[in-house]
Amino acid sequence: MEALAPAKETIEKLLTSMGQLGASDLHLKVRYAPFYRIAGHLRKVDLPPIPDSVYLEAMLIDLVPEPLRERFRTAEDLDFSARGATGDRYRINSFRSTGELHAAIRRVQSRIPTFEELNLPKVYLDTISKCSEGLILISGVTGCGKSSTLAAMIEYINQHRSMHIITIEDPVEYMFTPKKSIISQREIGIDVPDYRDALRFVVRQDPDCILIGEMRDRETMAAALQAAETGHLVFGTLHVADAQQTFSRMLEFFPRQEHAFVRSSLANSLKAIMCQRLLPGIDESKRFPATEVLLTNSVVKDKIVREEDEDIPAIIAQCAEEGMRPFATSLCELIEKELVHYDTAMDYAPNREALASAVKGIKTASQSLVGRLRK
C-alpha cells in the first residue's frame, strides 16, 4: 500500500483513475481509504485512510467554485461541480458525518452520450422528435441514469432544432456546445440562488426549451406546468420508481383542494413519463437500463382527470403499438439479448409475474418457430 501524497496530488490521481477504471463514483471519508464504485460495486483503493478533515478539505478546495468556498468550509451539505484535467466533469456533494468532512464524487463524462450508447428504446428519440412543447418527465431512483438521458435529449435538440435552451441545474453536469440551438446553463448557488428564483424569471428570458434538473417542491412543479402550458418544451426529473408513482409525487407537492386544477393542467401539458432503473449486466463492467414509458393519449388524459392513476400500468401494457412499454417488456428484451441474467431481471422487476409471463411467451414463440422450421 503506497503512502498518501500531498492532498492536491492525491485528488488529481484519484480523479484521473476514475476514467481509466470506468468508475462512476468516488467516496472520500475521513479514517477510510478512498472507494470507487465500478459497475455498481464498491471497490477499495489501495491507499491509506484519509487522516482527517483538514487533509480532505485540502483535497477538495481547488475543485470548489470560488463563490461557494466559504459555504464549503461551514455548510453541513453542499453540491457543486468541477472539471478535471481529463475534461471530465464531476458532480460533488460534500457533507459532514460525526463532525468530519466527507465527499461523494460522481464522474460525468465530457462527451455527451447518444440514445444508442445509453441503450435507450427508440420511443425516447421518437418522442423528442415529435414534441415542440409540453412536459416530459424522467423518473427513477438515484443513480439510474436520469442525467445522462436528459443530456442526450438536450443534445439531440441542440443538433437538430433552432431553439433557445435554458437549463437550471444543481449542479451543472454535462456542458453543451451550441450547435443549431443557443444554450444558457444556470447553476444553483453560482448563477442564481435557488430554483424558485431561476423559475420566477425564466419565461422572461425567451426560452423555447427549459430543463429543470429536479422537481423539488410546489413552486418548481407549478412553474414547470405553467411553462409547458404556455408553449414551452419542459424537461424535468423526479425521484420515483415508476409512472404511477410519478403522479402521486407530483400531487404531493400541492394541497388537496388544488389537485383538480393540477390534474387538468397535467392532462393538457404532459407528453410523456419515462422511467428507468439500471441493472448490472452479464458483463460485470456494464449496466443496462430497464425502462417504462407512458405517453399521453385521450385515455391517459381521461384517467388523469378522473383520478384513476391505478389504471396507468394496465394502459401502458395495452398500448405497445403507440410506443408505450412496461418494465416487463424492457426486462424481457434485456434477457433475450443476453445482456442481463434472468435472476437479475427478476430482482429488479416491479411485477415478477408479468416478467415471468413475458419470458414464457417469448420461449413459447421461439419453440413454435423452431418447430415450423424443422418441418
Crossing angle of helices 327-336/352-374, nearest 10°?
Answer: 50
Which domains does the chain carry? 12-108 (3.30.450.90), 122-325 (3.40.50.300)
CA–CA distances in Å: residue 299 to residues 137, 242, 250, 305: 19, 19, 20, 10
Q: What pLDDT shows up at residue 325? A: 96
CA 340 vs CA 60, 281, 346: distances in Å: 37, 5, 10
Backbone angles phi, psi at 209, to 5 degrees: -135, 135
CB within 8 A of 192, min separation 6: which ones?
A: 168, 186, 198
105: β partners: 26, 92
Q: How many whole angstroms separate alpha carbon 251 and alpha carbon 245?
A: 10
Helix (H) or strand (E) holding 187, with range, is strand 182-187
Please report, as a single letter, which amino acid is at residue 220: T
pLDDT at 360: 83
Q: Which residues in the chain come in under a pLDDT of 50?
A: 365-374
Q: What pLDDT was estimated at residue 362?
A: 62
